[in-house]
Amino acid sequence: PCRSVHGNNRLLPSQIVSYYESINQCEKELPEYFNFASDVLDEWARLEKDGRKAANPAFWWVSEEGEEVKWSFEELGSLSRRAANVLCEACALQRGDRVLAVLPRVPEWWLLSVACMRAGIVFIPGTSQLTAKDISYRLQASKAKCIITSDTLAPALESVLPGSQVLKSKLLVGRGSRDGWLNLKELL
């Protein structure tokens, strides 16, 4: 039995723990492949579209200035598929490749993390407070093939990028442009 909260059936914490315990004790079969983006988000989008699940925002972001970005499950699914295509085609990334994202908390941070899940790309989040030395270390240790940052943070990162032998592409989030950088908004 599930508890109804705001008209939605939700599992109680004890039910979730029980489910995971049954997996750990091999009472439930684990799927061979699991992808949160396609197995969960896309399923919720389908249930909403079929009217079997109440429509709720999948993502709701509000900036300090009050700007809002709100995506439904269907919109997040569509945008994340397009972003995954950008990563795989324009950035030439493949399943298992690593991406270092040095971004402030902007909607694209979450969009790109879902896109990486969808494409099987390893998303390495980095705070915008990292120093050049921190970024250089993370690039070398992770062997990231792509770096993603905002148009305002890109100038600070450019000094360390030539030292990376593995880096293939640089993706910019924002309205600006820079030589040698791909722009996510344009590619979407």
Walk along the chain (188 residues) and give the pLDDT tens digit of each residue. Answer: 333 334 445 555 555 556 566 666 676 566 778 888 988 899 989 998 898 888 889 999 999 999 999 999 999 999 999 999 999 999 999 999 999 999 998 999 999 999 999 999 999 999 889 888 899 999 999 999 999 999 889 988 888 888 788 999 999 998 888 999 999 999 99
For the chain, the helix, strand and coil percentages under 3-state DSSP, each to the nearest 5: 40, 20, 40
The tokens for 188 are: 């979407």
Give the pLDDT confidence score for residue 2 in this predicted structure: 36
β-sheet with 98-102: strand ranges across: 122-126, 98-102, 146-150, 169-173, 182-183
- Looking at residue 28, its pLDDT comes to 58
Tell me what pLDDT residue 180 has: 92
Give me the torsion for CA of 88, 94, 96, 100, rounded to 10°: -50
Between β-strands 169-173 and 122-126, what pairing exists: parallel, antiparallel or unpaired? unpaired
Separation between Cα atoms, residue 53 and residue 187, nearest integer Å: 32
pLDDT of residue 156: 85
DSSP conformation class of 72: -
In this prediction, residue 22 carries a pLDDT of 66
In the prediction, which pLDDT does 175 show?
Answer: 84
Ordered domains of the chain (ranges, CATH): 57-186 (3.40.50.980)
Residue 7: exposure state from Cβ atoms within 10 A (0-12, 13-18, ≥19): exposed
pLDDT given at position 162: 86
Q: Which amino acid is at 96?
A: G
Amino acid at 175: R
Give the pLDDT score at 4: 35
